[in-house]
Structure 1
């Protein structure tokens, strides 16, 4: 079987399982008695082990298998959850993550995992964890099987095979234990099929066991025949063979694990390969027939490469441009049949657009899931107690936006932990709980997604921010006196700004926040800050649902066309020239009791004035950026339209207040205005 064709599936599913393990480990730390959480972690680890073994990544499979052993003991009440145990498992997951990313980068996925495997083995033996339940016996451990192994044992018995559990003990003076184990496997596989071993094959090969190991096998030979053959291997001291009562195992396994659905045939092949390949050194000829077990109805989802979706979107963008052209032609020709056909095509293409955009939407939990572990580790490094509460992880966002938002969120969270949440003793003095809370919240509103990072820490000192801003020359004393609270907090997003007395290697409130701001604004979003000193801080991020096809209001300035995104528009209006006032050298209008600055797009974009006569009326577009507003002056409104946002290229991407361009139905190019740049 050519495994390279399954590499993308392997990487995608491995990352998903590692995310699940990370997320559930954090939950397990909160609820150490929850068997359901342990089962969830076990299932992901088991699947990851199977896929890794099938793909030939032995280090991944070996480490995951050892994790399985420890998790299996936890869910069978043979081992209690402790902080030490969780630390070791978290370290194991970091190793798994590193190996998966190594494979994704073209590496071989190899890593020295002996240190963490040794710790897991010690935990399994009870050497470092004192909370092991009494009464645990090796025989009982060996009688626990996962759902696949149980199925094989039961089917083999139905076909006339005997399921045996063989315990072999080597002499204490045996020098080459691994060699003797290999010889035992050679003998056993001549008469039957090995289902599993305890310890695992990897541990046996590394002589990572005392002198006793157990093999589970199926065969048509009688016990005595098998025992006589094994006893011929030198330095074997004892051989104990016990017939497995598969009917008695059913309840045990069902309590351990609910059988997971096999999502597709390839995953089923992977699972089958694990049970029949990884747990034996060689393949035997004398074996029962294997069957792929599938549960439930047919799978109704498929995985599609994001590159293919991007290609589909690019083709559809061209279709949108041609659709606009057809609409323009139909209006000019004014033929009823043509207009009806074009209208129908427009409706169908709108539906198609919705489907394509929805295909590109992914839950934001793919980004959020990596944060709990990061918060846990960072809080421990800083000697703080921090709880992270995630709300709205199911909120969907375009994949393009999702890929860009991860790093800004990481920085804001690190910033909140480092400079927002106080140390436990400080919080206690202030009458707060020793454990601080960070809430990460996502929700839809209109054509936008909002993400909020809220902490109940010390908040931001307005006076310190102002003093620092004035000393750095960011604002003057006169301007500082006119700023609102939110505008003051917004100053920490300025380049190089920081109120931290000591700049740590984790974050500094303001150090790098300008990069966060620039990244978010480059996505067509904005960030606002609200804070109460002593109570906490809220960072609110507004992002567009998608970046490629947007709804705009087409306007005209001296025969040039400009598109203003509808997401930024409050409303349009036509006002008289005398309604424009002047305040502090700035033209403004009184919009429903609020003073709004006027921005002339003709002056901003230096459009040549063709008619020297001043018009009596002005067409304005009221736009917003958070709580701020501005009135953009244009010559006329053309109408609402959906357009394809195209970049300006490497040499023009820094053009002030222009986020891109689009091709209109008549072939003209319209520039798309970045309203955020025009509002100060």
Structure 2
């Protein structure tokens, strides 16, 4: 396998781990005492660090390592999570995502994350949020420059003192014109390690090797050499300006001890982790031995497939399905038992194959929705609002090509709801609403479409304000404004450059209107609508097609023409007599299941050349639905149910009313596929 293949795997798996880290950090923020969540976060960070180091992305690995140090203290109950730690970890994730995106774009994945690293290290040391700690720490050399010792380090140095060894605090300063600081630090350590043992350094050895220090570094050191001799040896290293060597006594050591912040040297931490891992493995083996009948742990067995291969597979299966339908027709005409049995078996096998092929291309919208809880959390904080995001229907599946494109429009609409929809806490309380606003993000299937809705319980859209701005911007005239329905007024929001914001906002796009959203959704073959109640809230609804799919449909006739209606939109079929049709305000209606629903003439809508139900005493109808709206569609005759391949009409046949695509029937004829959602307004 070449490096490109490895890089592709790294990017995919890194994105998976980053998403897991985001989701679990959000969970932990709601349940900060649940250490099992911390374990999951730690494992993801540890895996990401290993992958990054293996691929040579050192900045990624270093930042993840610093996160790991913080999480290690938390999972061992040595550190409690607080808002600063959460914010720092979330900033770390943002930086990691930016690095991975840089790698996706062909970059090196390098970034300046020194500020975040500094915060993470401060958390580990326990002196974050305490600016006075560093201000008071420079008073004496014995203070260690604010560097604290843990119990393990203190114990080693105390035992060394008791056995007659000298314990030193050494502050080494390199010359200002020093070119290779890391090399000089290495040479100092070489001198020290020949004559004793370094217990701790600040910055760490790893940071010294990467030249992540200014001019000075500090070490705690055990040796039998006298202070003067030690100072002389260190200062003989070229480009070393000076070495301040201080002999520590028991009292100084006890002042430096800080057992509440257990920052062990990397080697000790690694040893502890190794022991812990070995303990977990031993426990797992013991559990397996004691319960031989227990089910084995679930192992993820997946492969990643290029989307173009799936397109090819779908097209080939489409051809197979057309031939299968034709074979079924021929078998019915020839009436040979052995042929009928073979065709029936082929139908069963191809049916199973069909389900698998369909599922291969379909992806749950959860892969898009899962980025929004984190986004809402951050935006709510920046807007000083309290907002809950409620997600429903995340398991609704959509074609992969649509999934890849729908993310940005949804981001824009959710930002709009948070910024312009949900009110500030004081305004909500004044309006008699709960202080926490709610944004619902839901997805569901209807016919051969998927609907995604963003609903907020905010202030709603002010019709008069929208009209005033639309007239001022020349979008419509004052005369036109008077005749517009509410829905038509709300759709003015999608006019280019239209914005109801009093001022430009970073949150909802610096005054960029919703026209960007509309054009993107239109390019996907879908459309967007908006409904609002002033003071109650606003709902944006996006309708998206299943761009390439195999669906169950009812084949119907209109004279000599054949059409298909998706079964998922059909409630039932019926026969109605002409005398039950009522005329209400110029609209034809019938009573159905205790409700009055409209009756639609498909032959009129599609301008059928050789069928009209006007002469018929009774008519066959298909009851269709779109959400909670129903309608009765008059047809000529029913042919029967069939599996059909949904094909696009292409770029030349666009904007055809009530038609979503076409299919090829078993006899080679082309049948148009009716879009029930377009029939119900």
**How far off its partner does 1:104 sit?**
2.0
Change (3 A) 1:112 1:479: closer
**How far off its partner does 1:244 sit?**
8.2
Structure 1 window deviating more from structure 2 (655-664 vs 592-601): it is: 592-601
Change (3 A) 1:208 1:47: farther
Distance in 1, matches of 2:102 and 2:108, equals: 7
Q: Secondary structure, in 3 states, of the residue corresponding to 1:666?
A: coil
The answer on whether the counterparts of 1:321 and 1:664 sit within 8 Å (CA) in structure 2 is yes
Which of 468, 471, 494 is the equivalent residue of 1:496?
Answer: 494
**Corresponding residue number in structure 2 for 1:512:** 514
**Corresponding residue number in structure 2 for 1:45:** 45
Change (3 A) 1:651 1:102: farther
**Cα shift readout 1:194-216 (whole Å, capped 9, x = no counterpart):** xx99837356312338625799x
Distance in 2, matches of 1:259 and 1:494, equals: 66
**How far off its partner does 1:95 sit?**
1.9
**How far off its partner does 1:350 sit?**
1.1
Change (3 A) 1:170 1:297: farther
**Corresponding residue number in structure 1 for 2:320:** 319
Q: Secondary structure, in 3 states, of the residue corresponding to 1:172?
A: strand
**How far off its partner does 1:13 sit?**
0.9
Distance in 1, matches of 2:653 and 2:399, equals: 25
Q: Secondary structure, in 3 states, of the residue corresponding to 1:407?
A: helix
The answer on whether the counterparts of 1:168 and 1:214 sit within 8 Å (CA) in structure 2 is yes
Question: If you compute each CA radius of gyration, which structure gives the higher value, 1 or 2?
Answer: 2
Distance in 1, matches of 2:205 and 2:265, equals: 19
The answer on whether the counterparts of 1:454 and 1:539 sit within 8 Å (CA) in structure 2 is yes
Structure 1 window deviating more from structure 2 (335-344 vs 600-609): it is: 600-609
Structure 1 window deviating more from structure 2 (533-542 vs 643-652): it is: 533-542
Q: Secondary structure, in 3 states, of the residue corresponding to 2:110?
A: coil
Which of 208, 217, 232 is the equivalent residue of 1:211?
Answer: 217
Asked if residue 178 in structure 1 is aligned to residue 182 in structure 2, the reply is yes
Distance in 2, matches of 1:74 and 1:478, equals: 63
**Corresponding residue number in structure 1 for 2:26:** 26
Distance in 2, matches of 1:457 and 1:524, equals: 26
Q: Secondary structure, in 3 states, of the residue corresponding to 1:643?
A: strand
Asked if residue 201 in structure 1 is aligned to residue 206 in structure 2, the reply is yes
Correspondences of 1:162-311 after superposition (within 5 Å): 171-175=171-175, 177-182=181-186, 199=204, 201=206, 204-208=209-213, 211-212=217-218, 234=237, 249=272, 253=276, 299-307=299-307, 308-311=309-312
**Corresponding residue number in structure 2 for 1:86:** 86
Q: Secondary structure, in 3 states, of the residue corresponding to 1:346?
A: helix
Distance in 2, matches of 1:34 and 1:608, equals: 69
Distance in 1, matches of 2:516 and 2:46, equals: 43
Q: Secondary structure, in 3 states, of the residue corresponding to 1:637?
A: strand
The answer on whether the counterparts of 2:447 and 2:566 sit within 8 Å (CA) in structure 1 is no
**How far off its partner does 1:425 sit?**
1.7
**Corresponding residue number in structure 2 for 1:220:** none
The answer on whether the counterparts of 1:623 and 1:630 sit within 8 Å (CA) in structure 2 is yes
Distance in 2, matches of 1:629 and 1:4, equals: 53
Distance in 1, matches of 2:469 and 2:515, equals: 15
The answer on whether the counterparts of 1:26 and 1:373 sit within 8 Å (CA) in structure 2 is yes
**Cα shift readout 1:267-291 (whole Å, capped 9, x = no counterpart):** xxxxxxxxxxxxxxxxxxxxxxxxx
**How far off its partner does 1:502 sit?**
2.9
**Cα shift readout 1:525-553 (whole Å, capped 9, x = no counterpart):** 98785x66555556677778885111111
Correspondences of 1:122-133 after superposition (within 5 Å): 122-130=122-130
Correspondences of 1:524-535 after superposition (within 5 Å): 534=535
**Corresponding residue number in structure 1 for 2:653:** 652
Distance in 1, matches of 2:329 and 2:110, equals: 60
The answer on whether the counterparts of 1:493 and 1:514 sit within 8 Å (CA) in structure 2 is no
Distance in 2, matches of 1:466 and 1:663, equals: 47
**Cα shift readout 1:296-342 (whole Å, capped 9, x = no counterpart):** 76945122225233333332222212211211221222222111111
Normalised by the size of structure 2, how large is the TM-score?
A: 0.72
Distance in 1, matches of 2:406 and 2:443, equals: 12
The answer on whether the counterparts of 1:528 and 1:626 sit within 8 Å (CA) in structure 2 is no
Structure 1 window deviating more from structure 2 (319-328 vs 508-517): it is: 508-517
Structure 1 window deviating more from structure 2 (321-330 vs 114-123): it is: 114-123
Asked if residue 116 in structure 1 is aligned to residue 97 in structure 2, the reply is no
Correspondences of 1:389-404 after superposition (within 5 Å): 389-390=390-391, 393=394, 397-404=398-405
Change (3 A) 1:472 1:657: farther
**Cα shift readout 1:197-255 (whole Å, capped 9, x = no counterpart):** 9837356312338625799xxxxxxxx9xxx9xx99947989xx999899994797469
Structure 1 window deviating more from structure 2 (532-541 vs 369-378): it is: 532-541
Q: CA RMSD in A?
A: 5.0
Change (3 A) 1:666 1:180: same
Q: Secondary structure, in 3 states, of the residue corresponding to 2:69?
A: helix
What is the total number of aligned residue pairs between the two structures? Answer: 597
Distance in 2, matches of 1:457 and 1:326, equals: 57
Distance in 1, matches of 2:581 and 2:326, equals: 38
**How far off its partner does 1:676 sit?**
2.1
**How far off its partner does 1:377 sit?**
2.0
**Corresponding residue number in structure 2 for 1:663:** 664
The answer on whether the counterparts of 1:596 and 1:631 sit within 8 Å (CA) in structure 2 is yes
**Corresponding residue number in structure 1 for 2:162:** none
Asked if residue 551 in structure 1 is aligned to residue 552 in structure 2, the reply is yes
**Cα shift readout 1:23-63 (whole Å, capped 9, x = no counterpart):** 22223333334433333322222211211121122222222
**How far off its partner does 1:641 sit?**
0.9
**Cα shift readout 1:430-476 (whole Å, capped 9, x = no counterpart):** 45443333344567899987755454434566887899999878998
Q: Secondary structure, in 3 states, of the residue corresponding to 1:502?
A: coil
Distance in 2, matches of 1:200 and 1:658, equals: 69
**How far off its partner does 1:588 sit?**
4.2
Q: Secondary structure, in 3 states, of the residue corresponding to 1:388?
A: strand
**How far off its partner does 1:644 sit?**
0.9
The answer on whether the counterparts of 1:80 and 1:131 sit within 8 Å (CA) in structure 2 is no
**Cα shift readout 1:493-521 (whole Å, capped 9, x = no counterpart):** 45637894636544499952894698399
Change (3 A) 1:404 1:328: farther
Asked if residue 370 in structure 1 is aligned to residue 358 in structure 2, the reply is no
Distance in 2, matches of 1:19 and 1:319, equals: 39
**How far off its partner does 1:343 sit?**
0.9
The answer on whether the counterparts of 1:24 and 1:37 sit within 8 Å (CA) in structure 2 is yes
**How far off its partner does 1:180 sit?**
3.5
Q: Secondary structure, in 3 states, of the residue corresponding to 1:654?
A: coil
Unaligned runs of 5+ residues in structure 2 are 134-145, 155-166, 195-199, 247-263, 285-295
Unaligned runs of 5+ residues in structure 1 are 144-166, 191-195, 216-223, 262-295, 481-487
The answer on whether the counterparts of 1:458 and 1:536 sit within 8 Å (CA) in structure 2 is yes
